[in-house]
């Protein structure tokens, strides 16, 4: 970590003296990632905000969207949910102008997490599903996190059997879980075990262990009418962008750049 920090500092110093604004933005993004990994989220946000301004001024939409997502992750860690949501929605406003489904999977997943942390699981469902639709073959971490967020949604929506199946899918993915996701997961698993009983909960987990891909998770959720969701409550109170993110999945799938 010390070596990575030193290299990141050198890159920022060199870019400030000799590099272009976009090179400077890239160096700041890299240093922000080092800060974030070391859980120095305040410093990470500082570098992220400067990188956002530079990418925005240069008109580099792809770089802008990626650093906005990283910035939002650090803001979520600090509990700055308003800032995180604003930056995620800014990133999404650039789609489908740029075809970057890899980053959009993470953006949608992080937006789902923001809604969950706000105590609005109904609004989290469609961004989490859209995250799965955008996943490419090597994006296992976002597959795990978005499947977890869907499990939390179905648990809050009084569909504990579905939630237990999705938790089983998360278990089988066998990937490291971020500390915040781990706390959310453990709390919900305890709730479901108490609600369903140990045997029924374990049965649901076993059923979910065969869901290894985004396509399999989506197919499971769309196979039965019981897994569909009505319009989230309180929709009239949401902003225009929030209503778009909470609307039926077909509104996303109508854009070629947002589907695979």
Q: Write the pLDDT tens digit of every residue in 136-164.
A: 766 788 999 999 999 999 999 999 999 99
Assign 21 a pLDDT band (cuts: 50, 70, 90).
confident
The mean pLDDT value of the chain amounts to 83
Q: What pTM was computed for the model? A: 0.79
Which residue pairs, CB below 8 angstroms and at least 24 apart, start in 250-259?
Answer: 252/126, 252/130, 252/133, 253/133, 255/95, 255/96, 256/96, 257/95, 257/96, 257/97, 257/98, 257/99, 257/101, 258/95, 258/96, 258/101, 258/104, 258/130, 258/133, 258/134, 259/133
């Amino acid at each position: 970590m010390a070596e990575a920090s030193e290299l990141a500092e050198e890159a920022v110093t060199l870019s400030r003296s000799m590099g272009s604004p976009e090179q400077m933005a890239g160096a700041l993004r890299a240093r922000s990632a080092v800060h974030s990994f070391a859980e120095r989220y305040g410093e990470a946000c500082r570098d992220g905000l400067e990188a956002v301004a530079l990418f925005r001024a240069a008109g580099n939409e792809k770089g802008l969207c990626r650093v906005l997502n990283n910035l939002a992750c650090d803001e979520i860690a600090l509990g700055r949910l308003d800032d995180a949501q604003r930056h995620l929605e800014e990133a999404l406003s650039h789609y489908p102008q740029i075809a970057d489904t890899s980053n959009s999977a993470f953006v949608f997943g992080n937006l789902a997490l923001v809604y969950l942390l706000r105590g609005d699981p109904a609004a989290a469902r469609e961004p989490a599903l859209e995250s799965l639709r955008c996943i490419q073959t090597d994006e296992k971490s976002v597959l795990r996190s978005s499947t977890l967020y869907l499990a939390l949604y179905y648990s809050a929506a009084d569909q504990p059997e579905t939630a237990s199946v999705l938790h089983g899918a998360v278990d089988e993915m066998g990937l490291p879980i971020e500390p915040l996701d781990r706390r959310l997961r453990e709390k919900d698993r305890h709730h479901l075990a108490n609600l369903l009983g140990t045997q029924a909960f374990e049965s649901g987990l076993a059923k979910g262990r065969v869901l290894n891909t985004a396509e399999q998770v989506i197919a499971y959720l769309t196979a039965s009418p019981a897994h569909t969701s009505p319009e989230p409550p309180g929709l009239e109170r949401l902003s225009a962008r929030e209503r778009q993110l909470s609307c039926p999945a077909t509104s996303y799938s109508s854009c070629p750049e947002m589907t695979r």
